[in-house]
Amino acid sequence: MPVRAIRGATTLDVDDRDHLHGRTQELVESLMSANALEPDDVISVIFTCTPDIVSDFPAAAARELGFGAVPLMCAQEMAVPGALPLVVRVLAHVETARERADVTHVYLHDAVALRRDLAQ
């Protein structure tokens, strides 16, 4: 089965643990649904947050969705002046029969501005 990388992002309204978990789970569930994936199809996931998010790790939210056996990593985005604040990004490596052009990347809330060319 081919391996594909799927990107996505969302934004928070406020840096709050419950809000972070809700938005992260919405992002992961949207990405999985849009690409007809199950957790067993996921090889690994890298989450990044802008430096203004410190309430928790997005990976903790993914584990609550059944990703406990999937290798997950969190990192901090570069602090670029003028960049969109309160952003959680995801890069998932998955096994899928979909062609690269048929993979659906997911951008939610204000993160649509990051990749208008990919946003639904």
84 assigned to some structural domain: yes
CATH assignment at residue 61:
3.30.1330.40
The residue behind tokens 């990107």 is 7
Is 77 annotated as catalytic?
yes
The domain total for the chain is 1
Point out the catalytic residue in the list 4, 23, 49, 107.
107
Is 115 annotated as catalytic?
yes
Q: For 36, left (φ over 0), alpha (ψ -120 to 50), or beta?
A: left
102 assigned to some structural domain: yes
Point out the catalytic residue in the list 17, 38, 89, 98.
89
Task: Write down how long the chain is.
Answer: 120
Sequence-ordered list of residues with C-beta below 8 angstroms from that of 98, at least 6 positions apart, any chain: 2, 4, 35
Point out the catalytic residue in the list 7, 23, 98, 116.
7
83 assigned to some structural domain: yes
Range of the domain at 93: 3-114
Backbone angles phi, psi at 65, to 5 degrees: -95, 5
Is 7 annotated as catalytic?
yes
- Residue 119's pLDDT band, with cuts at 50, 70 and 90, is low
Question: Does an H or E element contain 107, and which?
Answer: strand 106-107
In this prediction, residue 59 carries a pLDDT of 98
In this prediction, residue 117 carries a pLDDT of 73
103 assigned to some structural domain: yes
The pTM for the full model equals: 0.94
- Residue 115's pLDDT band, with cuts at 50, 70 and 90, is confident
120 assigned to some structural domain: no
73 assigned to some structural domain: yes
